[in-house]
Every structure is written in C-alpha cells, then in structure tokens.
Amino acid sequence: MTACRRSRACYLAGCRNEPCRAANYRYMKRLQYDHAHGQKRRTDATPTRVWIDRLTAHGWTRTQIADAAGTTPTTIRRITVGESRNINRSIAAGVLSIPLGRPDQGRIDSTGTTRRLRALAVLGYPIYVIAEASRMDTSMLQGHLAAQHATISAPIARRIASTYRRLSLTPGPSQISRTRAAARGWHGPAAWEDIDDPACEPEAPTVETELPTGRRSTIDADLVMQLTAAGLSKQQIAWELGCTVRSVERVHDRRLVPAPAPAAIPAACGA
C-alpha cells in the first residue's frame, strides 16, 4: 500500500485522507482566486525547454535541474520531450533562474528547511504562498514541510532560506495556517537559537514558564496590538517577542478592557 503523500497529487490519485482533501481544497480556492483576478498560472514551455537543453550541454542531469528548480525529474523530462507544452509559471521561473555553469551537486541536512517552512506556517503563510514567493513547486515544499526527506539540494535550501528571511519579517495572511501550525506544535522564528542545528531545541515560552533570565520582560505594547490585529494568538505573539503569554495578556488587559467608570458620589441630604 502506497503511503499517503499529504498533497493534491495524492488526492488526484484517489486518496481521500483529510490532509490530501485539504490540499486539493486550498489549490482549487487559489485557482478560483487567480482566475477571478485574471492571473494566468501557465505559460509556454518553449523558453524553459531551451534553457534545459543549454543546462544539459553544461553537464546538468535532469535530476540536478529538478533539484535546483524545486520540481521533480518527471516534470523536467516531460518538458524536455515536449509532452508539456504549457507549464506552471513557478516551475518555469525556477528553471530559468538556474545559472549556466557546472551544477552544484551538494545535498545538506533538511532540518533547517523543514523548520523554516513550519515557522512561516506559524506566522500565517500557507505553503502555496511560500511556493509562489520562492518560485518552487508546491508539492516539493509540502514534502519538506512534512519532514519526508532527510536531505535537500543545497541550492533549494538557500532559496527557501532567502524566502524565509523576507517573509518572516511580517505576519502572513492566513489564520487557518496559524491555527493548524499551533495545533501541530510547530514553532515560530524566535524559538530557534540555531534553526539549522538538528541538536537545537526550541525555546517557546508557555503560560507557566518565565523567560530564561527569570525576569519579567518589557515588551512593546504597540507591537503586541499590531500582531493581535494581524490574527496571531497570545501564544504565537509570546513566541515572536520572546516573552511569556501572561505578559501579552497584561497588554491586552490594559488596551482592550475599558477602565471602570468612577462611582457616583451620593448627593448630600437636603441638597
């Protein structure tokens, strides 16, 4: 029995597990959005095919091209032999971004990549948004999000790290992504001292746990309210600011709960 790949491709192959159904639902919703806004998802494959031929002449194999472009060798083969005349724009962008020259054949541990993808999910970035921002194939990123691969191509890891540096500066658009990430126990960017070190343990404050210093933290109340307005939970805000949940709650109490009105002074008798 084939293992569930937790992706739309697995759904199209007949799987009806909840992760695959959810992946298909997200894809279709995004497709409807793009069509409503006149955004074309596919483009002519000819320029990509020509670039693959040039890379092959420089010694690249289909697998190496696929790794560097963030897609699969099967996709590269179909483009090369002309089976795919129109391809996804993100795949085309990934292939065309590969510089001519000798291929980088190095592979590295994928721990940092998985943590970065999950941290972006904590911030509210769905995998398809990360794929668009990094110009990579969604199914490939889903595999690393689910920690299905022990290693990753070094060029792909660098592209994901670059995307992570850009996106992690601001909250993402999806509350659903934040909710699912929190339910799975994933950690945001502030939880990692060294996100690439497999031995590094996340440092996520909880309601019962104070900061390592043992002191109450001073946090920016305005920033707390901005993150709250962006849809982050108290726990997620605490992770991002490196404080306790109770510190966030105190800001909420001060900003969101109106002060009680002063009690009326009873009038003097005979007045």
Contact in structure between 52 and 95 (CB atoms under 8 Å): yes
pLDDT tens digits, the chain, 271 residues: what are they? 467 767 777 787 788 888 788 777 777 777 777 667 666 668 899 999 999 999 988 888 888 888 778 788 888 999 999 888 888 887 888 888 788 777 766 778 899 999 999 999 999 998 888 988 887 878 788 889 989 888 888 888 888 998 999 999 888 888 888 888 988 899 999 888 889 888 888 875 433 333 333 333 456 777 778 778 777 777 767 666 666 777 788 788 776 544 444 445 455 544 4
Phi-psi sector, 202: left (phi>0), alpha (psi -120 to 50), beta: beta
Name the fold adopted by 203-256: Arc Repressor Mutant, subunit A (1.10.10)
How would you write 160-171 as a 3-class SS string? HHHHHHHHCCCC
pTM: 0.51
Q: Where are the domains of the chain?
A: 1-39, 107-191, 203-256
* 270 contacts: CB under 8 Å, gap ≥ 6: none
Which alpha helices (DSSP H) does the chain contain, by range? 8-12, 18-36, 46-57, 62-69, 73-80, 89-96, 111-123, 127-134, 138-145, 154-167, 175-183, 221-229, 234-241, 245-256
Please name every residue paired with 109 in a beta bridge, in sequence order, or none if there are none. 151
* Per-residue pLDDT, 239: 63
